[in-house]
Amino acid sequence: MPSKAVPSGSNADASTGTPSLFVRHFPVATLSTLVNRMRQGLPPSGELCVTFDDGYADNFEYALPILREHSLPALFYVTSGFIGSTVQAFWDAEAQIESRWMSWDQLSQLVGAGHELGAHTVNHADLSQLTAVAVEQELAGVGCVEPHLLLHPADGRLDGSVNRGVAEGSPRVGGTRRQ
């Protein structure tokens, strides 16, 4: 799941795959489609979901045209408190790069192009490090994007307060990833 997108033809690390690889070897589906199939009791059949993390402007600038070119649907997990802002993410600051976030209009255009938006908390907080009240606030503020698709930055650590906060928000899909 890439966070940042790069112009095609650049020398970027392609370890996360390329659209032509996806199209040749996998049927690509939206996450909602896969979740609905699983709810119907249908087994997964090798589908791939293309996802992007955080809501970076380059996802719109570089990834969207490539997705269009290959007719690929994608899910964009956005950190709602960053959208349309000049917030500098700590990990970008450490790498000495500028954080540039999509605008609300760009998110609307993604949805209009058939892509999905998912919630990635309000402030990209590590939910496993927060109090139950703070977890609730991070999850409650994501209502501006699809609250039923949630990926939270807990670095794979799920504890009681995080699980309760996610369950109370009733997401259709909840997840985290290990780094």
Q: Which of 7-21, 29-43, 61-75, 148-162 has the lowest mean pLDDT?
A: 148-162
Mean pLDDT of 102-123: 88
For residue 14, pLDDT over 50 is answered with no
Contact 7, 62 (CB under 8 A): yes
Residue that is written with structure tokens 């990833």 in the block: 177
Cα(88)–Cα(46) distance, integer angstroms? 37
Cβ neighbours of residue 107 under 8 Å, at least 6 residues apart?
A: 55, 76, 78, 83, 117, 145
Nearest to 154 by CA among 168, 170, 169, 174: 174
Mean pLDDT of 79-105: 94
3 state DSSP class of 33 = helix
The pLDDT value given to residue 60: 96
Cα(19)–Cα(130) distance, integer angstroms? 37
For residue 96, pLDDT over 50 is answered with yes
Whole-Å CA distances, 33 to 30, 38, 89, 173: 5, 9, 31, 12
For residue 82, pLDDT over 90 is answered with yes
Instruction: Report, at the CATH architecture level, how domain 53-175 is classified.
Output: Alpha-Beta Barrel (3.20)
The pLDDT value given to residue 122: 86
All structural domains of the chain with their residue ranges: 53-175
Chain centroid, CA 69 distance in Å: 21
Question: 63 or 178, which is more confident?
Answer: 63
Residue that is written with structure tokens 């907080």 in the block: 125
Mean pLDDT of 121-144: 78
The pLDDT value given to residue 90: 92
